């Protein structure tokens, strides 16, 4: 809605005015809600009524010899809503604490036309590494991402993509902490399918799990270089 007003008069919006007391109450309420969901006896304690678990994985993420949980949540009534990923670290008393939540790391499940973005999706924990694997034989291709706890932070350590196009197949391997991007291209138009590999030095980056979108990151680093 667009409001018009006299240029010589200052528009007032009493509905937008919030008292200092109201702000403090709102802040306290949010902090109280966050505290409520900070720890729980089981993973279901961290899920709201309008959410459901779509995928989950378990394993020792932070190398304390306790079995942690990773949950991918989606809205029950809205397939186009962003999905949330929770990192639940296990405590010594067998309860869980919410360490990180992200609405960026897992891509949209459907596009605006209602088609699935990837054929298959899965998450797993192996030797302290969190793997997010997305598969698609169509234009989206495959995308594999790896995260690892480093100095108490869950960091993106690796992205791999694979795409099949007309006349060629291409793969990208990106190691943000090393500032290394490798591109491999296979020419499927020739009988012996020759391949070429190029390695590029790019700026070293440290991407936090809660702020990382692997899809956006790999696209950005790819366009930051000049590939013949």
Query: pLDDT tens digit string along 70-82?
Result: 999 999 988 788 9
Asked if 101 and 56 touch (Cβ cutoff 8 Å), the reply is no
Question: Is pTM beyond 0.75 here?
Answer: yes
Compute CA 53 distance to the chain's CA centroid, rounded to the nearest angstrom: 16
Residue 31 vs residues 22, 138, 228: alpha-carbon distances, Å: 14, 44, 52
The helix (run of H) or strand (run of E) holding residue 143 is strand 142-150
Q: What is the pLDDT of residue 226?
A: 63
Is 5 inside a domain boundary? no
Mean pLDDT, residues 118-140: 92
Please, which pLDDT band fits residue 173 given cuts at 50, 70 and 90? very high
Decide: helix, strand or coil at residue 223: helix
Task: Summarize pLDDT for 20-47 with one digit per residue, the tens.
Answer: 443 344 344 444 344 444 899 999 999 9
194 in a structural domain = yes
Residue 92 lies in a domain: yes
The confidence band for 7, taking pLDDT boundaries of 50, 70 and 90, is very low
CA-based radius of gyration for the chain: 22
In a domain, 49, yes or no: yes
Distance CA(56)–CA(96), nearest Å, equals 15
CA gap 89, 49 in Å, rounded: 22
Does residue 15 form part of some domain? no
Residue 31 covered by a domain = no
CB 140 within 8 A of CB 117: yes
Distances (CA, A) of 3 to 11, 13, 18: 9, 11, 20
* Count of the separate structural domains present in the chain: 1
| 158 located within any domain | yes
Residue 180: strand pairing partners = 175, 201
CA distance 185 to 214: 21
Name beta bridge partners: 184.
171, 197
Q: Which stretches within the chain are classed as H helix?
A: 20-36, 214-223
Q: In angstroms, rounded to a whole number, what is the distance separating the alpha carbons of residues 109 and 114?
A: 9
Which ranges in 20-176 belong to alpha helices (H)? Answer: 20-36
Edge-to-edge order in the sheet of strand 68-75: 39-40, 96-102, 84-90, 68-75, 51-59
Q: What's the confidence (pLDDT) of residue 29?
A: 41
Structural domain contains residue 2: no
> Which range marks the domain in which residue 107 is found?
38-223
From CA 55, how far away is CA 32, in angstroms rounded?
A: 28
Task: Report CA 123 to chain centroid distance, whole Å.
Answer: 11
């Amino acid at each position: 809605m667009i409001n018009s007003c006299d240029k010589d008069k200052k528009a007032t919006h009493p509905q937008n005015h919030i008292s200092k007391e109201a702000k403090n109450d709102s802040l306290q309420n949010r902090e109280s809600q966050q505290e409520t969901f900070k720890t729980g006896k089981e993973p279901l304690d961290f899920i709201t009524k309008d959410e459901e678990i779509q995928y989950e994985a378990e394993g020792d993420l932070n190398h304390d010899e306790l079995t942690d949980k990773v949950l991918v949540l989606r809205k029950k009534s809205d397939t186009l809503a962003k999905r949330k990923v929770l990192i639940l670290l296990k405590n010594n008393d067998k309860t869980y604490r919410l360490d990180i939540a992200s609405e960026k790391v897992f891509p949209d499940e459907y596009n605006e036309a209602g088609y699935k973005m990837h054929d298959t999706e899965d998450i797993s924990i192996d030797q302290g590494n969190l793997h997010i694997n997305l598969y698609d034989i169509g234009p989206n291709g495959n995308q594999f991402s790896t995260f690892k706890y480093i100095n108490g932070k869950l960091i993106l350590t690796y992205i791999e993509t694979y795409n099949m196009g007309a006349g060629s197949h291409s793969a990208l391997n990106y190691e943000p902490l090393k500032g290394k991007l490798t591109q491999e291209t296979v020419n499927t138009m020739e009988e012996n399918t020759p391949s070429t590999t190029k390695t590029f030095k790019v700026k070293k980056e440290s991407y936090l799990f809660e702020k990382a979108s692997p899809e956006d990151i790999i696209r950005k680093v790819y366009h930051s270089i000049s590939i013949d």
